[in-house]
Structure 1
């Protein structure tokens, strides 16, 4: 077992408590958290993941020592311990910053019960004013994961918003996503910074170099179907479920969305997305735009804005996400992109389930820049051949 660096504030409490739970080292605790995440996808049994930090923060970093803050944290952590069961999992957070607890088979009602008990005890101790401090990080950060289909989680966003609006900065609640589980080492974080710099610089350069082509496409769209706008704007789902407006050159007639319902029976992807080779909603020049992916060029603006990246899973529409199985949502843990693995492996010829698996395979590569470059080069080859695009 690796030697764990323990924060003194944590160690003093653990020494006093006769806990029936093993306290896992940080690395093994992250492994257990990942296991419970995957298990919830299979069993559909929700769990809570709570981070408890051993210090209060101020604007500049660690706050100065405060007996009030220490007593507040002590009462909070002891209350949390009183709710632990033998099946629950506890371990150290990285950098000895605090403790993490996984409450299995628990929902938001469990969290609310814990919250009320903590507030009641703090009030009895005369420490309730501590909650008015605006910390850099809450003492309690809670994450909730259901393992349900997306359509069964539709009310979850509103519940999380209501919880956070009534708890200031002392408690916080978020929906659990993969990036909360995978704590990347610094070198991978640097890769993400480099990737963002490459995205912005390359997209800006591409907009300048391709401006004549962009102008030609815009004029061709207007001439081909003058009734509608040149740019088609559509709400898409980005990283961790955040909604954004995606831009494309319009390749369909203006009534395309209305006609989609009558064509759903002819869907050729075998899944949640809709694709058909001879879609009657596409006007003639629109087929050219799609075959060579010219309709995607306005998304260079989305990349500059930070909504998208050059390489990443394609952003889905909200109605598709509502039909996702839990493991499908894993692809939303990274910034969506213009191209990814399935775009260079058959494009629309690949089934929906195949697309999901390839996207999740990309996510597990941890943003390796060399892999991204290979995908970009393959994309040029696929686009010029126009295979699998419809």
Structure 2
């Protein structure tokens, strides 16, 4: 088993505690974390992933490191370790800066119980005065994963904010996302930087080259239905659930959203998204815009802003995301895009579940630029044919 390089502060605590738990090497610990992530999707039982940094007390914010600061840190960490059960998982973090803990079948109540015990022990040790100055960084970075439908997680967001407002000295708590688990090698991180450079340069060039088409589309939209705006702005869900405003040429009548409820029974995707071939809310020229994806051209601005990429899963609307199953949300772990696998594999003719699987398949490819280039070429071919768009 590989040896891990750890700060002596962590090593001393591990030896002092004499834990019965195996301390996994970083690679195996990452594998276990991924396994628990997938298991929670099936069992719907929450777990906590907690990072303990060995250098934490060095920048607590209480001035220079002192015996009081170090002792406070040690008591806090030892208290955390005392809550480990034989079913829990302990291992080194990939960046070799500390230890990771997976507390199975645990939630915010578990963290609150640990916090109260830490306070009690600090009080007994006469160190409670050290907490009068709020630390710059919490002692523990904690992540919670429930495996529940997204609408249940959205209800939990307010509870997370409340928890963080009262536990700032000990925990920073947020929802666990896929990119907290999947650790890309450095060369892939460079790919992401290159991809961003390609996105900005190509989108800027496209706006200039396509400006005559953009002006024509804008004029045609205004003439076709002068009552509404040329650009349709809609809130979409981006990477890790971040909301942003997406731009499109308006292809529907201004009362489209109000009429949607009347048409839900005719949804042809069999899932959370709404699509129908002969949608009466689309005005005549709007069908042309959609057939050749001209309505999507204003999203070049979203790409330049960083909300989107050229290639990536299409950004959903919040009401769709609220109905997501846990494995559906995996597609939100990357920046959304103009085109992806299912856009070149049948477009709207593919069922909702099929779209989700194809998007997740793209994520597993680790953002290879060669694959992105192939998808862009296929997109041109599909757009010119106009198949599967409605």
TM over 0.5: yes
Deviates more, 1:71-80 or 1:252-261: 71-80
Tell me whether 1:257 sits opposite 2:262 in the alignment. Answer: no
* Change beyond 3 A, Cα 1:65–1:380: same
Listed as ranges, the gaps of 5+ residues in structure 2 are none
- Given that residues 224 and 285 in structure 1 are in contact (C-alpha distance below 8 angstroms), is that contact kept between their aligned partners in structure 2? yes
Q: Post-superposition shift, 1:123?
A: 4.0
CA distance in 2, matches of 1:320, 1:55: 42
Q: Using structure 2 for the length normalisation, give the TM-score.
A: 0.95
Render the CA deviation track for 1:287-334: whole Å, top value 9, x for unaligned: 000001000011111111111111100000111111111100000011
- Given that residues 49 and 142 in structure 1 are in contact (C-alpha distance below 8 angstroms), is that contact kept between their aligned partners in structure 2? yes
CA distance in 2, matches of 1:297, 1:163: 42
CA distance in 1, matches of 2:301, 2:66: 48
- Given that residues 348 and 388 in structure 2 are in contact (C-alpha distance below 8 angstroms), is that contact kept between their aligned partners in structure 1? yes
Match of 2:370 in 1: 370
Q: Post-superposition shift, 1:5?
A: 1.8
* Change beyond 3 A, Cα 1:188–1:132: farther
Match of 1:166 in 2: 166
CA distance in 2, matches of 1:29, 1:286: 52
Deviates more, 1:212-221 or 1:158-167: 158-167
- Given that residues 20 and 86 in structure 1 are in contact (C-alpha distance below 8 angstroms), is that contact kept between their aligned partners in structure 2? yes
- The alignment partner of 1:141 has SS state of strand
- Given that residues 68 and 130 in structure 1 are in contact (C-alpha distance below 8 angstroms), is that contact kept between their aligned partners in structure 2? no
Tell me whether 1:224 sits opposite 2:227 in the alignment. Answer: no
Match of 1:179 in 2: 179
CA distance in 2, matches of 1:89, 1:99: 11
Deviates more, 1:356-365 or 1:120-129: 120-129
CA distance in 2, matches of 1:305, 1:150: 27
Match of 1:152 in 2: 152
* Change beyond 3 A, Cα 1:67–1:133: farther
Q: Post-superposition shift, 1:29?
A: 0.3
Q: Post-superposition shift, 1:64?
A: 6.6
- The alignment partner of 1:310 has SS state of strand
CA distance in 1, matches of 2:198, 2:283: 35
Match of 1:132 in 2: 133
Match of 1:6 in 2: 6
Q: Using structure 1 for the length normalisation, give the TM-score.
A: 0.95
- The alignment partner of 2:49 has SS state of strand
- Given that residues 131 and 170 in structure 1 are in contact (C-alpha distance below 8 angstroms), is that contact kept between their aligned partners in structure 2? no
Match of 2:282 in 1: 282
* Change beyond 3 A, Cα 1:320–1:133: same
